[in-house]
Amino acid sequence: MSLGGCGERGPTETPSAPPQASAPDAATLLDAAIAGPARSKEDRARDQWRHPKETLQFFGVDPTMTVVEVWPGAGWYARILAPYLKSGGGVYYAAQIDPRSNERAGTLVEQFKAEFSDRDLFGDVRVTTLGDGELAPAGSADAVLTFRNVHNWAASGDADEHFKAIFAALKPGGILGVVDHRASEGASDEDVSSGYMTESAVRKIAEEAGFEFVAATEINANPKDTKDHPFGVWTLPPVRRSSPSAGQIDPAFDRTKYDSIGESDRMTLKFMKPRS
C-alpha cells in the first residue's frame, strides 16, 4: 500500500535566511585605520600628544564623507584619514602647499604623491594645491581639517585668503576643524613668530570668513607647556630645535626640560559653514 498523499499536509516551512553581518560602525573603522599598516612606529608614538581618535570624533568625521585636509605635510593624519575614508566609501582630498613656493615644498609634495599612490591602502587620494584653484569642487566637502598650520598662514599674511578658500569648498553645514599651537590669551595677535596663536585670533579669522563657531575641546591641551621656549614651539618635540637656524644642531644645548614637556599645548576648534 502506498502512503503517498495520505493524511493532512502541514504548513509549508520556508528556511530562514542566514543572519546578515552588520557593517562596522564608524568607531570600529577609525580604530582599524589608527591601528592599520599605513602607520609607522614613529607615527603611533605621537598618538599620546595628537589624540587622533578623539580629535576626529570631536570634528564628527564619518568614513562616508568627503574630507579635505589642508597642508597635510608629510602625511601623519593622511595615513589615518585616507584608509578610514576608503573603508567607508568616502573621499580624501589633500590640499598641499604650493610645490612651486620653494624647493623643499616641491620635494615634500612629490614624496607625498609617491607614498599615497597605493590605492589598495589609501584609496583614490586627490591632491590639490592651497592657493592655486579649488581645494575641492565648490560646495562639495563635508569637512575641511587643518593641523598646526594656521600660524604659518598668519605669519605669511595669507590666513584670510585661505579661510575663504576653505569656506568655498565646504557644503552648507560643513565643518572646519582646526588644531594649532595655543598662545595664552593676551599675547599679541600680530606676533606669531613663536609658532603660537591665541584661540581668539583664530576665531576672528574664521568668523570674518563667514564661519560660525561651534565648540572647542581640551583634547590636545598640554598644561606643562610654558610657551616661552628659546626657539619657539620648535624647541619642543617633535622638531626639537637646539639653535636659531633650522637644521643646525647645538650639541651643548640641554634638551632635558623641553623633552619633559612633550609636544605643545594645542587648541582644537570646530566651526561650521552656515546652512543658509
Task: Give one DSSP letter per residue of 1-44, joined into a string.
Answer: ---TT-SPPPPPPPPPPPPPPPPPPHHHHHHHHHTSTT--HHHH
Tell me if the pTM is above 0.85: yes
Report the CATH number of the 26-224+265-272 domain: 3.40.50.150
In angstroms, the CA 2 to CA 70 distance is: 81
For residue 173, what is its C-alpha cell?
553645514
CA-wise closest residue to 154 among 209, 109, 107, 201: 201
Mean pLDDT of 185-194: 84
pLDDT tens-digit series, residues 139-180: 999 999 999 999 999 999 999 999 999 999 999 999 999 999
pLDDT tens-digit series, residues 100-148: 888 999 999 999 999 999 999 999 999 999 988 899 999 999 999 999 9
pLDDT tens-digit series, residues 66-113: 999 999 999 999 999 999 999 999 999 999 999 988 899 999 999 999
Q: Residue 13 — very low, low, confident or very high, per pLDDT cuts 50/70/90? A: low
Q: Residue 39 — very low, low, confident or very high, per pLDDT cuts 50/70/90? A: very high
Q: Which pLDDT score is estimated for 20?
A: 60
Q: Which pLDDT score is estimated for 97?
A: 94
Is the pLDDT score of 64 beyond 90?
Answer: yes
pLDDT tens-digit series, residues 236-253: 999 999 999 888 999 999
